[in-house]
A and B are shown apart, each in its own frame.
Chain A
Amino acid sequence: MKDLIEYIVKALVDNPDKVTVKEIAGEKSIIYELRVGEGDLGKVIGKEGRTAKAIRTIITAAAMKQGKRTVLEIIE
């Protein structure tokens, strides 16, 4: 899951080297902390937040299969 987020985000940004994803797993929920380089925040969020929303929707569906909840935090 972490790899997938990293892969999608790296494909979209200008500075793929500065992309890191940290996974903080709890009992019922998983938090993904996504960090991107300066100026790349807009690329991850997308027009009207569409890209961020799409990524969140997909990881939510994946987590649902395991009966868990997820949060994706995006930090510049």
Chain B
Amino acid sequence: MRLAEATGKTLDEAIENGLKTLKVRQEEIEYELISEEEEEVKIKMEVKEPRLHLLELTKYILESCGFKPTINITKDDKGFYLNIKTRHADAILIGKKGETLWALQYIITRLMKRFHPNLKVLVDVSGYRMRRTNFLKKKAEAIARIVLQTGREMALDPLTKREKQIVESKLSEIKGVKIYSIGKGASTNVIIAPNDESK
């Protein structure tokens, strides 16, 4: 529901009522006056288009937290790519193993999906996720090659759940290796091993 009609005694009151119905802030919407009579103002309200909405929402979240972000949004066939840059605060926004970045991604997606259910967005801070994903893919490929040559298992550094998924999807493109993990929680190690069945 991106649309709402609202009424009030004054224009301000009508806007306030509309914002309450949609549960958004004024920066996130555009409105149109439908009718204006003495004791009743009627307006039509619509949530902004995805790119603008994304920008306003992210800006609001980060500025409320005391950051001064520069936000860059691009779009490709996979959806929106939102890159946040700050002065001296990028490390805080990424967090331990990307924890804070993950939280931002979750909240932004959650709030955006209310109005744009099919929206896909990837939140990033100073290209951290891009770099990390490329690095992991290259590393997985290089280690898989060594495993195939030597026929011996090799371990990767501890990875988070999401990082493991990246490695897994890369390795599924390479024949002759399999992946399994040992340990639990933060000390889970991912092992790349030769796949005997393929021989």
Which of A's residues lie within 8 Å of B, judged by CB?
Answer: 1, 3-4, 7-8, 10-12, 16, 50-51, 53-55, 57-62, 64-66
Q: Which label, helix, strand, loop or mixed, suits the secondary structure of the A interface? A: helix
27 pairs from A and B in contact (CB 8 Å cutoff): A1-B66, A4-B60, A4-B65, A7-B60, A8-B61, A8-B111, A11-B24, A11-B111, A16-B20, A16-B23, A54-B106, A55-B107, A57-B95, A57-B99, A57-B102, A57-B103, A58-B103, A60-B100, A61-B65, A61-B92, A61-B100, A61-B103, A62-B66, A64-B92, A65-B65, A65-B89, A65-B92
Contact A54-B103, Cβ < 8 Å, known A12-B110, A16-B20, A61-B65: yes
Task: Tell whether B67 is near chain A: CB-to-CB under 8 Å.
Answer: yes
Contact of B100 among A1, A7, A12, A57 (CB under 8 A): A57
| Contact partners of B66 in chain A: CB under 8 A | 1, 62, 65-66
With A7-B25, A8-B111, A10-B23 as given contacts, are A58 and B65 in contact (CB-CB < 8 Å)?
Answer: yes
On chain A, the residues within 8 Å of B114 by CB distance are 11
Q: How far is the CB of B91 from chain A (nearest CB, A)?
A: 10
- Does A61 contact B95, Cβ atoms closer than 8 Å? yes
Given A11-B111, A57-B95, A58-B107, also A3-B64 (CB < 8 A): yes
Q: Which residues of A contact B107 (CB under 8 A)?
A: 8, 51, 54-55, 58
In the complex, the number of residue pairs spanning A and B with C-beta atoms less than 8 Å apart equals 65
B93 within 8 A of A: yes
A49 to chain B, nearest CB (A): 12
The smallest C-beta distance from B151 to any residue of chain A, in angstroms, reads 40
B20, B65, B99, B110 — which one has the most chain A CB atoms within 10 A of its CB?
Answer: B65
Chain A, residue nearest B94 (CB) = A61
Contact: B93 with A1, CB < 8 Å? no
Known A-B contacts: A11-B23, A55-B103, A60-B100. Give 20 more (CB < 8 A). Answer: A1-B64, A1-B66, A4-B60, A4-B61, A7-B25, A10-B23, A11-B24, A16-B20, A50-B106, A51-B110, A54-B102, A54-B107, A58-B103, A61-B93, A61-B95, A61-B103, A62-B64, A62-B65, A65-B66, A65-B89
